[in-house]
Chains A and B, each alone.
Chain A
Amino acid sequence: MSADSGRLAANILMFCRTLRNAGLAVGPGRVIEAMAAVRRAGIERRDDFYWALRAVLVNDPAQFRLFDQAFHIYFRNPRLLERMMSLLLPTLEQDAAKSEKEAPVRRLLEAMAANNDIGEDESARIEIDQSASWSRREVLRHRDFEDMSLEEQGQAIRLMRSEMLAIADVATRRFRPHPFGHRYDLRRSMRLILRNNGQPIELARKSRRRRPSPLTLICDISGSMSRYSRAFLFFAHLMSMRHHEVHTFVFGTRLTNITRRIANRDVDKALTAVSQEVKDWDGGTRIAECLERFNVDWSRRVLAQNAVVILLSDGLERDSKADLDFQMQRLHRSCRSLIWLNPMLRYPEFAPRAMGIRTMLPHVDLFLPAHNIDSLSQLGRLLQQDRQRAQRQVEKYRAA
Chain B
Amino acid sequence: MAERSDRKDLPGDVSATQALLTAGDYIAGRDLATVVYLALHMGRPILLEGEAGVGKTEIAKVLAATLGRDLIRLQCFEGLDLSSAAYEWNYPRQMVAIRIAEAEGSGGDIGKNLYGREFLTERPLLSALEEHANGPPVLLIDEIDRADEPFEAFLLEILSDFQISIPELGTIKSKEPPVVVITSNRTREVHDALRRRCLYHWVDYPTQETESRIVALKAPDIAEDLRNQLVAFIHKLRDQDLFKRPGVAEAIDWANALAQLDVVTLTPDVLNDTLGSLLKYQDDIAKLQGSEAARLLAEIQAAA
Contact = CB atoms under 8 A, between A and B. Distances in A.
Interface of A: 25, 29-30, 33, 36-37, 40-42, 45, 47-48, 51-52, 54-56, 58-61, 64, 172-174, 186-187, 189-190, 193-194, 197-198, 244, 295-296, 300-302, 304-305, 326, 330
A141 to B, nearest CB: 29
A61 B49 contact: yes
For the complex of A and B, 7 pairs with smallest distance between CB atoms: A173-B79, A304-B187, A51-B34, A59-B195, A59-B200, A55-B199, A186-B91
Contacts of B198: 59
B202 A64 contact: yes
Contact of B188 (A30, A54, A304): A304
A51 B30 contact: yes
A194 B107 CA distance: 10
A37 B148 contact: no
29 contacts: A36-B3, A37-B42, A40-B38, A40-B41, A41-B34, A42-B14, A47-B30, A47-B34, A51-B34, A52-B38, A55-B199, A56-B199, A58-B200, A59-B47, A59-B192, A60-B200, A172-B78, A186-B91, A187-B89, A198-B98, A198-B107, A244-B149, A302-B188, A304-B145, A304-B188, A305-B78, A305-B148, A305-B188, A326-B283
Given A36-B3, A198-B107, A244-B149, A190 B94 contact: yes
B148 A172 contact: yes
Contacts of A197: 107
B79 A198 contact: no
A51 B34 CA distance: 6
A45 B17 CA distance: 15
B189 interface: yes
B91 A55 contact: no
Given A190-B94, A198-B107, A304-B145, A60 B195 contact: yes
Contact of A174 (B79, B91, B195, B243): B79
Nearest to B13: A42
A55 B38 contact: yes
Contacts of A47: 30-31, 34
B201 interface: yes
Contacts of A29: 196
Contacts of A61: 49, 202
Contacts of B186: 300-301
Contacts of B149: 244
A6 B77 CA distance: 47
A48 B30 contact: yes
A25 B191 CA distance: 13
A41 B14 contact: yes
Contacts of A193: 98
A40 B202 CA distance: 21
Contacts of A194: 110-111, 114
B196 A41 contact: no
Contacts of B89: 186-187, 190
